[in-house]
Amino acid sequence: MDIVTAQEMYERDQAAAEAGLAGPMLMENAGRAAACDLVRHIQKSDRIIVWIGAGSNGGDGFVIARTLLNLGYTVEAVQVVPDDKIKGDAAVHKQIFQASGHTVKKWTDVEDAEEYLRRADVSIDAMLGIGVRGDLREPYNQIVRYCNEAPLLRLAVDLPTGVPADEGVEEFTAYKAAYTSVIEAPKLSAFLQHTQPWYGQWSVVEIGIPPKTAPSVNRRLWTVDDVKQTLPSRDDHSHKGSHGRGLVIGGSVLMPGSAAMTSRAALRSGSGLVAIATEEGAVPSISPYIQEATFVQRDTLDLSAYDGVAAGMGIGRGEASQELIRHAVTHTDVPLLIDADGLYVLKDFLGELEKRTAPTILTPHPGEFAHLTGLSIKEVLLSPFSLAEAFARRYGVYLVLKGPSTIITAPDGEQRVDATGNAGLAKGGSGDALAGILLSMLMQSTSTLDGLSSGCVLHGYTADQLVQQGHSKVDLLATDVIDGLSHTFRTLSSSIT
């Protein structure tokens, strides 16, 4: 599923028109598809108000109101702008709405809004779409405020009024939806930490734009179905060397659990062999937890025997750790994943990454990425797509920018988004478990980007399944997720045993 900017969505609409799908036809498709989606959240006894603005979103609103009325729902269609603002395709559908015997009501002042809301159980926002710029003006800001305060179910079409489609906008006033029916493709803001909550839950409806005519984009949502299609198979005659020899450089006397969890997650995800390079004093703490791993001397590392390396978790941020990561960067010719403390000590020699020929994978959360780039965390959260793309291109790395929606970026700028997972993952150790899963997928996948994308989904999907099957977001631990991988692999691929 593609993820688009506002401009890219406009280009798709234009491509549909050039293919012969006239604007009124496309608007009919969009409105009917959204109405059929929204009825899953509405009862026949509900009194519904559809707020209709100017532009395409308002035109969709006329189609939605008409469709719901045809289905027997109780609907008031309230136009919130003067008649001369309803133009083009939206005017066509207003005429159809009225010719069908329905009445368009007009909003004139705050008292009208209060009166309409007193009579309603459900509010459907079809006021402003992807074209919104800047903060809301009257009457939109007043209607949004009253809707947000009213005790009713708030639904939205495409994106809630006031929410910017693209990244980079910090302050806005917006309609707070419980559910949004997204038209054709999700916009960037559906995956940003500060804008996504305004959508509530959401799903995408298809409106008939021919895929072959739609301009291509370099962003897409990676889902469980994508994982199923790309998950490495396991041959009946394979052996432990067939699925990757991984090395985990991590852990310390004070933080032995990091390396232990990464290694265990790698083995649970299918790695054939895993060795751990850690401080000698940490071995007694790690070995009982992960008996299938071997240990190697960290001070005399021979990196030539491995198919993939994960480094940085729990090593600390001192000078010795910096030299350890520098050695890994300059002496490995296999995929190298750097996480946690490794990301902090990496900053002083980022330029070395450009010299590597094998894939380099960095897995920062927003704070770590801010450290690497010299930006503030706020700047990272406002524009994660563009900043991640620029960084990945600049240093020739794969960047896994972790968060409620994780953005995976390839060196050529192609991006994938993983939207699985839940707040139960907001605990120490979750990143260590993810690093192990990614190490394993890197060694088993033919495509680095596919392997990283699927590894992120495996991690989040497992957490989601555990919460549905007995855990809560409060008690879920990283070790639970690691153990839960067994059920995930059994569920997603019958070929993995």
Does CATH place domain 224-494 in 3.40.50.1220?
no
- Ligand-binding annotation for 60, yes or no, is yes
pLDDT digits (tens, 9 = 90+) for 110-127: 677 788 888 899 999 999
Instruction: Summarize the confidence of residues 446-474 as an average pLDDT.
Output: 96
CB 66 within 8 A of CB 96: yes
- Ligand-binding annotation for 378, yes or no, is no
Nearest in space to 483 (alpha carbons), one of 471, 494, 474: 471
Query: What average pLDDT is seen over the chain?
Result: 94
pLDDT digits (tens, 9 = 90+) for 378-398: 999 999 999 999 999 999 999
- Ligand-binding annotation for 412, yes or no, is no
Whether the per-residue pLDDT at 497 is higher than 50: the answer is no
Whether the per-residue pLDDT at 495 is higher than 60: the answer is no
Q: Classify domain 6-217 by CATH architecture.
A: 3-Layer(aba) Sandwich (3.40)
- Ligand-binding annotation for 312, yes or no, is no
- Ligand-binding annotation for 141, yes or no, is no
Q: In what order do the strands lie in the sheet with 308-311?
A: 219-221, 415-418, 406-409, 398-401, 360-362, 336-338, 308-311, 245-249, 273-278, 294-297
- Ligand-binding annotation for 57, yes or no, is yes
- Ligand-binding annotation for 131, yes or no, is yes
> What confidence score (pLDDT) does residue 166 get?
97
Nearest in space to 61 (alpha carbons), one of 28, 108, 88, 87: 28
What residue spans define the domains of the chain?
6-217, 224-494
Given this chain, do its domains 6-217 and 224-494 carry the same CATH topology? no
- Ligand-binding annotation for 83, yes or no, is no
CB 278 within 8 A of CB 215: no
Instruction: Summarize the confidence of residues 181-205 as an average pLDDT.
Output: 97
Q: Does residue 325 or residue 114 have the better pLDDT?
A: 325
Residue % of the chain over a pLDDT of 70: 97
> What confidence score (pLDDT) does residue 299 get?
82
Whether the per-residue pLDDT at 496 is higher than 80: the answer is no
